[in-house]
């Protein structure tokens, strides 16, 4: 008996759903979105204000949006996601429907039900589309995992760290001002890796009964050692908005 080919949904399919249903589309596969809880909204809201204030101070064309905001990372009919926070430096990518093409910076605040999607599927999608920087804020783990896709490395911080935004020259976020009363955890750093594609392929071939497995290997952060963020390649700076091209 022949296996039935899995249907690929399109942007038109999700647009025809009832307005109360929020879904994301990745490679033609639909993913239902849950209503975010209070901690999720509190943290994403504070991050939005901090980023928006930075853009207002520096001026320029960069814009930040919070969900629901449609992002078509490949500008095709099979992919449409709604990141919790989206920063776009190129206004030519924006219209009334959302962002067409890869944003410059994406932040996802994960829930227990979205961990595999945010850590694996979306990570692979964002890197392949050309997103330059991707943060995963994990409230349960009290960590912020930062992917610098331009420099090909990943590092994980805690809610008591100050984190540099790598697509800028001078923007850092003190996460104690974001997390507020959320308990703090011990610091860890994640080892450098080649690409998210290799991580994605490794997870896709592992036992799918381990849905919450983490494809990344941690290394201990040396006590008292500060992370050196100065070892990045020279990049042209957009003087209009302080975000790099």
Q: Each residue's pLDDT tens digit in the chain (245 positions)?
A: 455 667 899 999 988 886 757 899 999 999 988 888 899 999 999 999 999 999 999 988 899 999 999 999 999 999 999 999 999 999 999 999 999 999 999 999 997 767 888 899 999 999 999 999 999 999 999 999 999 999 998 999 999 999 999 999 899 999 999 987 555 443 344 334 444 444 444 444 443 434 444 433 333 333 333 444 433 333 333 444 445 54
Q: Where are the domains of the chain?
A: 37-72+82-219
Residues in the chain: 245
CATH fourth-level superfamily of 37-72+82-219: tt1808, chain A (3.90.1570.10)
Q: Rounded to an integer, what distance in angstroms lies between the CA atom of residue 108 and that of residue 57?
A: 24
CA angle 125, 91, 165 (to 5 degrees): 60
pTM: 0.76
Q: Rounded to an integer, what distance in angstroms lies between the CA atom of residue 101 and that of residue 12?
A: 18
């Amino acid at each position: 008996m022949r296996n039935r080919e899995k249907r690929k949904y399109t942007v038109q399919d999700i647009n025809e759903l009832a307005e109360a249903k929020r879904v994301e589309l990745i490679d033609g596969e639909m993913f239902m979105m849950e209503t975010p809880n209070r901690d999720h909204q509190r943290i994403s809201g504070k991050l939005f204000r901090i980023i928006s204030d930075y853009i207002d101070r520096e001026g320029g064309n960069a814009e930040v949006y919070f969900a629901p905001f449609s992002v078509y990372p490949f500008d095709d009919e099979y992919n449409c996601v709604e990141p919790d926070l989206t920063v776009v430096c190129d206004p030519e990518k924006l219209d009334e429907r959302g962002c067409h093409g890869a944003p410059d910076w994406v932040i996802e605040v994960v829930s227990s039900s979205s961990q595999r999607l945010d850590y694996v599927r979306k990570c692979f999608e964002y890197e392949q589309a050309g997103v330059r920087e991707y943060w995963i804020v994990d409230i349960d783990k009290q960590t912020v995992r930062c992917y610098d896709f331009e420099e090909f490395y990943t590092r994980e911080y805690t809610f008591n760290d100050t984190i540099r935004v790598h697509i800028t020259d001078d923007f850092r976020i003190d996460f104690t001002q974001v997390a507020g009363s959320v308990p703090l955890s011990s610091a860890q750093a994640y080892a450098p890796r080649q690409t998210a594609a290799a991580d994605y392929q490794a997870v896709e071939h592992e036992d799918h009964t381990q849905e919450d497995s983490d494809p990344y290997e941690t290394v201990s952060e040396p006590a008292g050692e500060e992370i050196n963020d100065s070892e990045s390649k020279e990049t042209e700076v957009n003087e209009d908005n302080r975000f790099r091209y």
